[in-house]
Structure 1
């Protein structure tokens, strides 16, 4: 019987280590407390710990206790959740968009076409960069990132009502890496995180990699359903809420002042930290409510990047947060990336952002997108594809397909004709968006896109 209980204890610990409830270098419960919790004798726990130490899974530190060994097997993402159909898997959509050949049409991707980007300004900055001193061309990035770029970002944020010092801003390799660092800092395996339904599909993919419990809240035209949000906070006690409050991805909706106020009140009551991904803010014709501005960066962390507005090839993101959190995040960035983003990338972005051309570039992009949204919405409605709402900015239209059509099947059929689409359920944690599709209007100038849509939709009705 003792041997059976010992094996059960060992299996319990192995499972906790496997699913990252116990992480490398974490101290195991004391022998006496674990014995009381498991309702076994202390000698059973001693036996289990000794055998696990013999297997190299845990190790003893005399006078301190037992600890999980530093090296564990890689986390297997495939085992962390239900296996979805490949056409509605967020990883699948990302791969199709990123690996698409140049001739493929990409109305489902999440970026502007190359000829919409300020390439002349980037080339000018590159020529100046070529004359930079050797340190810039060969050294690591500093721990917080280039100060001149952080000062510029602080001025931009002040225009939105966010009073912040450059020391409260840390540059990151990308916006995605910024969220990853925040998750590493604030989350532990098994914690709960609230996201919108629908939401940016890479939020789901990233949280899956962190082995946390995802709680979804329906998103409305004015922001998250605040009653459901309140229920989620009361029931699940989440650590984080991750969202886009300006030009929400994929819906294009913008949070209302009333919803923003109630959301922040609830977050304060339940001690929830909010990550506000503001990557689309520059596409707004005028500023909308900002959670970070309303909150004063007390429990809101603001992140952003320039991959959508300047270049996805020159990766650089940022995190704006209260000073003590930035200090901890700096240490994490050193541990995981040995410093901030490339000094060359930071210098290039600073040149483009500060030479006066960026403001004009964004004015032109906003005007082009305003016309394009109306043009593409009209063409889609001719196919009985209807926008859920008409966004006030940005390049996404979140649309419903005609009754009886499944967007995943449509996307799969379109891919065979070299067209990459973004079906609704890749954005939906609840998998309730099969009739929706996200379209990038900037990537829909080729008439073949609409002909392919018409063909695959007709086939889908048969």
Structure 2
């Protein structure tokens, strides 16, 4: 075998007979990775090399991971073992793989992505790698095949709210949109946000509200304000993975505190505070990502006591505020503390549009000034056009009805998703009664499920991504708005059986 056979019209015999080779995905409804070279112009060896290279670059196959055996990959792809051997040898030569005698081929630990590498002072998080899921989110175009998706499907949102607001702006004089905006952000929107925060019993002035390009920029500004290399930040374990990487780039030591149905384990937090003297702790007090739980009043009071006792600042990320049902037991730290030791964050990416990128920070007056200075230095003013759009949406009277419809739909989808997952034998984390997400224990390595799903066009969010330790996990996050597809559920059931060694037929994947 010299590797010269072409893909067009040709196949090789595998263990189960003759099957067409499917290595580089063609464009179409299954495409979720780029196809830089037309497969018809590539030999089978070239196709297999490109297939593996893309998956290593996408971090589907991660540093240190053992590649499929030569026999296994030849059988799965319906090609000869000689083709696999030659492709693996090329990947070794290209620096993607290393060969270990008697053990197989492993993904080499190449230079890490600059946005997630931790400095030498933070060895505990040197292997943090969140770009796999982020890249996959942008490649996955079908929400019904993406239970790991971090946003609501487009069909759940109200595009007319945005288009109506933009039409209204279009009738205004064009000169309104030519200036660079103001440092704090569009004043009428900040005044409207003050009213919304007062409804949550958080007292602020418009000058205490700093507009940002989403929650990610808010974390960036806070990290620059508070952290020096070697400082400790406490996050949930599990928690939102993007902030792990952001704090790592600042040189912080990121430590996870276990989560319970009522919020973070405060006994564990006090031990961490005694040993590491953290500068910050980040909390989703309402509808925590990914567990879906909310902070109890007793735990909120105790957390504020610990912040005072051990002199750390609390960052309260309330991005899911508008998805919280009326009457849901939710205690916001900022309402108890009134922004003395608490920094409050909000955003509209979950309820309006992912690409609108309008968020905000509410903080003490002095801190708001410092954060605004940092905002100007790192990115100038935020785009005022986006902020004007949000202002129109919030003040024209339809936003509350929109969020109410979404909450009702989420409640129904949550009940249905729970029933489907439990029929598969999946265990649900306690205390989840509202919101977008369901945190669930599959009993098997969810990294393996995510890797296999990527090949079939499914996007799963493995539990390892939600822990600062990045250790393999049996847990995974389900978006209840995109977890109903029967094909996805059958695939999940099959993978759980394969990975656990259970006999076939031990569960059902039907809705």
Q: TM-score range by the shorter chain?
A: 0.7 to 0.9
Alignment of 1:42-121 (within 5 A): 77-78=116-117, 80=119, 89-102=129-142, 105-121=145-161
Query: Is the aligned partner of 1:373 residue 2:414?
Result: yes
Deviation per CA, 1:348-394: give whole Å up to 9, x if none. 11111111111001111110000100101111111111211252311
Residue 233 (structure 2) aligns with: 193
Residue 246 (structure 2) aligns with: 206
Change (3 A) 1:231 1:144: same
Change (3 A) 1:229 1:350: same
Residue 357 (structure 1) aligns with: 398
Structure with more helix by fraction: 1
Task: Tell me the distance in 2 between the aligned counterparts of 1:258 and 1:279.
Answer: 22
Query: 1:162 is matched with which residue: 172, 178, 202?
Result: 202
Task: Tell me the distance in 2 between the aligned counterparts of 1:118 and 1:352.
Answer: 11
Residue 446 (structure 1) aligns with: 485
Residue 292 (structure 1) aligns with: 334
Task: Tell me the distance in 2 between the aligned counterparts of 1:460 and 1:76.
Answer: 32
Alignment of 1:305-316 (within 5 A): 305-316=347-358
Residue 429 (structure 1) aligns with: 468
How far the C-alpha of 1:102 sits from its partner, in A, is 4.3
Query: Is the aligned partner of 1:417 residue 2:459?
Result: no
Residue 461 (structure 1) aligns with: 500
Query: 2:380 is matched with which residue: 323, 338, 351?
Result: 338
Change (3 A) 1:336 1:85: closer
Residue 399 (structure 1) aligns with: 440
Structure 1: which 5+ residue stretches go unaligned?
Answer: 1-73
RMSD, aligned CA: 2.0
Task: Tell me the distance in 1 between the aligned counterparts of 2:357 and 2:176.
Answer: 16
Alignment of 1:124-273 (within 5 A): 124-273=164-313
How far the C-alpha of 1:141 sits from its partner, in A, is 1.9
How far the C-alpha of 1:79 sits from its partner, in A, is 5.4
Q: Contact 1:136/1:344 (CA < 8 Å) preserved in 2?
A: no
Change (3 A) 1:450 1:117: same
SS at match of 1:78: coil
Q: Contact 1:377/1:386 (CA < 8 Å) preserved in 2?
A: no
Q: Contact 1:306/1:317 (CA < 8 Å) preserved in 2?
A: yes
How far the C-alpha of 1:138 sits from its partner, in A, is 2.4
Larger RCO (CA under 8 A, 6+ residues apart): 1
Task: Tell me the distance in 1 between the aligned counterparts of 2:351 and 2:445.
Answer: 32
Q: Contact 2:118/2:126 (CA < 8 Å) preserved in 1?
A: no
What number of residue pairs does the alignment pair up?
Answer: 385
Task: Tell me the distance in 1 between the aligned counterparts of 2:276 and 2:481.
Answer: 39
Task: Tell me the distance in 1 between the aligned counterparts of 2:125 and 2:487.
Answer: 29
Deviation per CA, 1:210-242: give whole Å up to 9, x if none. 111112111111111111111111110111111
Task: Tell me the distance in 1 between the aligned counterparts of 2:357 and 2:342.
Answer: 23
